[in-house]
């Protein structure tokens, strides 16, 4: 009996907020890719994100290796947006006074 070959779509999806998620979970694509870049095996990544099927982690890693440039560019955009938001939030809600108050309280104890 001949083997039926079929291409499976990558186990990623775009959520309503525009984030790329893995499988049916809330785990973001960049979370899996970061771990892969650090040298984690799919099994080690699965230990960190047990809600993601091991087969989906392998699928994400394979997809990343085939589309590295595109995914690296996407992650760079996500990181830049996170940095921009952090600067905006820190400008709107300065924490310096709060930190000083907390240190003073700690030092009084």
78: domain CATH number is: 1.10.10.10
1 assigned to some structural domain: no
Query: What confidence tier does 98 reach under pLDDT thresholds 50, 70, 90?
Result: confident
Q: Which residues contact 12 (CB under 8 A, 6 or more apart)?
A: 20, 21, 22, 23, 29, 60, 63
4 assigned to some structural domain: no
Helices (H) and strands (E) in the chain, counts: 5, 2
60 assigned to some structural domain: yes
Calculate mean pLDDT across residues 6-18.
94
- DSSP of 29-68: HHHHHHHHHTT--HHHHHHH-TTS-HHHHHHHHHHHHHSH
5 assigned to some structural domain: no
52: containing domain: 12-108
pLDDT value of position 16: 94
Other Cβ atoms less than 10 A from the Cβ of 48: the count is 13
Q: Report the candidate in 35, 38, 37, 32 with the shortest Cα–Cα distance to residue 53.
A: 32
6 assigned to some structural domain: no
Q: What number of residues does the chain have?
A: 109
Query: Structure tokens of 33?
Result: 């890719």
19 assigned to some structural domain: yes
Q: Report the candidate in 7, 8, 33 with the shortest Cα–Cα distance to residue 22.
A: 33
23, 30 in Cβ contact below 8 A? no
Query: Percent of the chain having pLDDT more than 90?
Result: 73
Domain tally for the chain? 1
2 assigned to some structural domain: no
95 assigned to some structural domain: yes
Calculate mean pLDDT across residues 38-66.
98
């Amino acid at each position: 009996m001949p083997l039926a070959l079929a291409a499976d779509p990558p186990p990623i999806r775009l959520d309503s907020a525009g984030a790329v998620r893995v499988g049916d979970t809330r785990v973001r694509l960049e979370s899996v890719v970061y771990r892969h870049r650090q040298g984690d095996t799919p099994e080690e990544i699965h230990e960190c994100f047990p809600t993601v099927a091991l087969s989906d982690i392998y699928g994400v890693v394979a997809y990343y290796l085939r589309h590295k440039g595109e995914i690296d560019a996407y992650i760079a955009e996500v990181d830049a947006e996170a940095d921009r938001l952090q600067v905006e939030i820190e400008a709107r809600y300065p924490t310096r006074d709060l930190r000083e108050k907390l240190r003073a309280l700690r030092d009084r104890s």
